[in-house]
């Protein structure tokens, strides 16, 4: 889902957008603003070590579940991410209507969601480390130092997640959030939106011509869109999510980023990518190169397509 502004995190998100890491004051908000009065004023006093203060706050937040507590502290230590709570609010879900969201700690019976999120972020670190090792290049793509706001939707099981200002909202009741494999791709999609915005909403201009040319050719017809939406999410009873009316080129770009994740993981695992996205229609090759160059330093482990030439932009 495109970076949606959720009111409870708007001000915090604006601060995080320019911060290299989460500071203790922001961590307090992420972890305890959803439950006013729960944190004692003298809890985890400030000192010379901001990381120690944040770890103290995380331990307090997850004190009801020692396993989740250890997992949350380790998650912070390895990624700089703080797993907190989304304050209660009514969410404008667009065509989904107004959805009531309540804070939900990923602990106890919901602990698996903290595990899904943590393992997803660890896998990104491993992926980029291997890509840098093999290419000798640095990939300046941010997947760490994020605030996670966990919540539960009531009466509906959407949205699965949303993002804004280096923050991600995650639904423990989301219909998609049932395995680490699914969550890995879901979060990569959301985090792409954050990186896209940090690049000046790059997709809105760089991929606009490609996206328009596909729309003009296919509309929302799935059989026509299939070659251009290889591996993309489909909407039940509709079309591909990236081409659903009301969505736009930013969703096309985010879905394309998931293909990048999948294909690089396949190559690193020693497997062959059966149908590389870039080896489809010319529009695919053009969009792929633009995205890989902009966000991933041009690093693509998938071999060139047979008989491929430099992709030409669509007219």
Q: Is residue 230 predicted with pLDDT exceeding 60?
A: yes
The predicted-structure confidence for 150-186, as pLDDT tens digits, reads as follows 999 999 999 999 999 999 999 999 999 999 999 999 9
Nearest to 228 by CA among 302, 275, 284, 282: 284
194-223: string of b/e by CB count within 10 Å (b at 16+)? bbbbbeeebbeebbebbbebbbeebeeeee
The predicted-structure confidence for 25-61, as pLDDT tens digits, reads as follows 999 999 999 999 999 989 999 999 999 999 999 999 9
Q: How far is CA 92 from CA 75, 87, 118, 234, in A?
A: 30, 15, 27, 22
- Provide the pLDDT for residue 237: 84
- Provide the pLDDT for residue 179: 97
The DSSP call for residue 305 is P
H runs (alpha helix) in 199-248: 202-206, 208-218, 222-225
Give the helix/strand (H/E) hosting 98: strand 98-103
- Provide the pLDDT for residue 12: 59
Structure tokens at 281: 């229609």
Q: Following DSSP, what letter does each residue of 237-260 receive, concatenated?
A: TS-BGGGSBTB-HHHHHHHHHHHH
- Residue 92: band (very low, low, confident or very high) from pLDDT cuts 50, 70, 90: confident
The predicted-structure confidence for 249-284, as pLDDT tens digits, reads as follows 999 999 999 999 999 999 999 999 999 999 999 999
């Amino acid at each position: 889902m495109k970076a949606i502004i959720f009111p409870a995190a708007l001000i915090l998100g604006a601060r995080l957008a320019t911060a290299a890491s989460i500071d203790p004051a922001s961590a307090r908000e992420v972890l305890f603003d959803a439950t006013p009065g729960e944190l004692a004023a003298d809890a985890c006093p400030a000192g010379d070590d901001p990381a120690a203060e944040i770890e103290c706050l995380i331990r307090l937040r997850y004190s009801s579940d020692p396993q989740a507590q250890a997992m949350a502290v380790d998650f912070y230590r390895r990624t700089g991410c703080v797993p907190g709570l989304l304050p209660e609010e009514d969410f404008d879900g667009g065509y989904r209507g107004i959805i009531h969201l309540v804070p939900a700690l990923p602990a106890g019976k919901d602990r698996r969601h903290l595990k899904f999120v943590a393992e997803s972020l660890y896998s990104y670190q491993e992926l980029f480390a291997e890509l840098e090792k093999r290419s000798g290049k640095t990939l300046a793509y941010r997947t760490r130092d994020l605030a996670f706001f966990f919540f539960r939707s009531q009466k509906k099981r959407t949205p699965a997640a949303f993002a804004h200002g280096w923050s991600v909202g995650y639904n423990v009741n989301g219909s998609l959030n049932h395995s680490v494999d699914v969550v890995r791709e879901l979060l990569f999609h959301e985090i792409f939106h954050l990186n896209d915005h940090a690049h000046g909403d790059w997709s809105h201009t760089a991929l606009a011509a490609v996206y328009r040319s596909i729309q003009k050719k296919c509309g929302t017809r799935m059989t026509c869109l299939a070659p251009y939406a290889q591996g993309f999410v489909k909407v039940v009873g509709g079309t591909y999510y990236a081409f659903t009316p009301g969505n736009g080129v930013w969703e096309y770009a985010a879905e394309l980023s998931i293909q990048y994740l999948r294909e690089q993981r396949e190559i690193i695992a020693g497997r062959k990518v059966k149908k590389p996205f870039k080896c489809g229609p010319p529009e695919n090759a053009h969009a792929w190169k633009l995205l890989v160059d902009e966000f991933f330093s041009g690093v693509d482990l998938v071999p060139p397509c047979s008989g491929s030439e430099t992709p030409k932009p669509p007219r």
